[in-house]
Amino acid sequence: MRPLGKDKAVRIVLDGMGGDHAPAEVVKGAVGASLEYGVEVVLVGKRDMLEGELRQLQASSKISIVDASDAVDFNDQPSKVRHLKDSSIMVAMNLLKSGEAQALVSAGNTGAVMAAALFVLGRIKGFDRPALCAIFPTPSPDLLLIIDVGANADCKPHHLVQFAQMGTTYMERVFGMKSPRVGLLSNGEEDTKGNQLVRDAHKAMGKTELNFIGNIEGKDIWAGVADVIVTDGFTGNVLIKASEGFSALALNFLKQTLQSRLEFRIPGFLLNPAFAEFKKRMDYSEYGGVPLLGVDGNVICAHGRSDANAIKNAIRIANQSMEQGMPEAMRR
């Protein structure tokens, strides 16, 4: 793998065929990121389609194309992906593995991306299962990391312990946080609360070197009491998607209320920028992508419904993550 460093040109490989709006929005996002962040993007997918999109955009930015004749179908079992050697995700993953690129972004099926990452890159020693982490703002200046938000629907207690270790390392190394407080998401604060998985994980976590502060209830997720919140990928996925839905609902209700109740009505053109700003801060889909931790490479999973803006943001996250020395930090 070629040495990483800020003096070197950064090259990010992008799965051109992954996501609901591929390839059009993906290519648009690639061009945007390349212009805005000065990164070199390698688009992987069906060459003629990708070239067609690029031509339409009349882009002269640093984009190259690597051909991949197959695409992973949304209904394909993730386990089948490794056999689709010419699929865009497998070709892209191999470019990352060989060091042709320093990070990978895909808006394709998360299960497929994870399967390809496991097959091509392998795990980092000590972590049995890769996990997806989402990073949220909180009212305090600090960020909040939630892990796992969708990679593992069924978990064992030791997986949750490993997620806690991954999340801790990420916050320490990438965000320079000292001894992040780890909370275990549960249905009550008391040690005895939780389903079987959580009760067992609680006991196991208490025996580690982690800065484990105990169970965290849903209401306290964003209250700034923990820096890393650990949960299984089913609950975590429901949670972050619910926050997306709830955010939309909140805006809807609040707009109605503000515009109907006040004697002094606030005109839409004044309200809308505030609401857009809010959405940008609160909606995890605006963040573009979530890192896949535990695999031996810098992989960012973008939202399946990513538009060009989300793809651009995912590339920004990949770029940051790489500059901050992932996945080397995780390996140490």
For 263, list phi and psi in degrees, rounded to 5.
Answer: -60, -40
Which residue stretch of 9-17, 173-181, 226-234, 288-296 sits at the interface with a copy of itself (rule: CB under 8 A)?
A: 226-234
Which one among 64, 238, 268, 331 touches a copy of itself, defined by CB under 8 A?
A: 238
- Kindly state the smallest distance separating residue 203's Cβ from a copy of itself, in Å: 16
Alpha carbon distance 286, 82 (integer Å): 30
Q: Which residue's CB is nearer to a copy of itself, number 47 or number 241?
A: 241
Which one among 2, 252, 268, 331 touches a copy of itself, defined by CB under 8 A?
A: 252
Q: Which residue's CB is nearer to a copy of itself, number 102 or number 243?
A: 243
Which one among 217, 286, 323, 328 touches a copy of itself, defined by CB under 8 A?
A: 217
Q: Does 156 bind a copy of itself (CB under 8 A)?
A: no
Alpha carbon distance 228, 205 (integer Å): 13
Alpha helices, H only, 83-126: 88-98, 110-120
Q: Are 143 and 54 in contact (CB under 8 A)?
A: no
Q: Which residue's CB is nearer to a copy of itself, number 313 or number 319?
A: 313
- Kindly state the smallest distance separating residue 116's Cβ from a copy of itself, in Å: 18
Which residue stretch of 23-31, 82-90, 233-241, 289-297 sits at the interface with a copy of itself (rule: CB under 8 A)?
A: 233-241
- Kindly state the smallest distance separating residue 94's Cβ from a copy of itself, in Å: 27
Q: Are 145 and 212 in contact (CB under 8 A)?
A: no
Which one among 87, 168, 243, 306 touches a copy of itself, defined by CB under 8 A?
A: 243
- Kindly state the smallest distance separating residue 212's Cβ from a copy of itself, in Å: 18
CA distance to 33, 89, 243, 259, 274, per residue, from 66 (Å): 18, 11, 37, 51, 41
The first and second tokens of residue 179, run together, are 């001894």
Q: Are 44 and 30 in contact (CB under 8 A)?
A: no
CA dihedral of residues 243, 245, 251, 252 (deg, nearest 10): -160
Bridge partner residues of 45 (DSSP): 67
- Mask of contacts with a copy of itself, 261-300, x by CB under 8 A? xx-x-x---xx-xxx-xx--xx------------------
Residues in the chain: 332
Q: Does 80 bind a copy of itself (CB under 8 A)?
A: no
Buried b (16+ CB within 10 A) or exposed e, 278-300: ebeebbbbbbbbbbbbbbbbbbb
Alpha carbon distance 319, 313 (integer Å): 10
Query: Which residue type sits at 279?
Result: K
Q: Which residue's CB is nearer to a copy of itself, number 130 or number 327?
A: 130
Q: Which stretches of the chain bind a copy of itself, using CB under 8 A? A: 75, 138-139, 150, 153-154, 185-188, 190, 193-196, 198, 217-223, 231-235, 237-250, 252-254, 257-258, 261-262, 264, 266, 270-271, 273-275, 277-278, 281-282
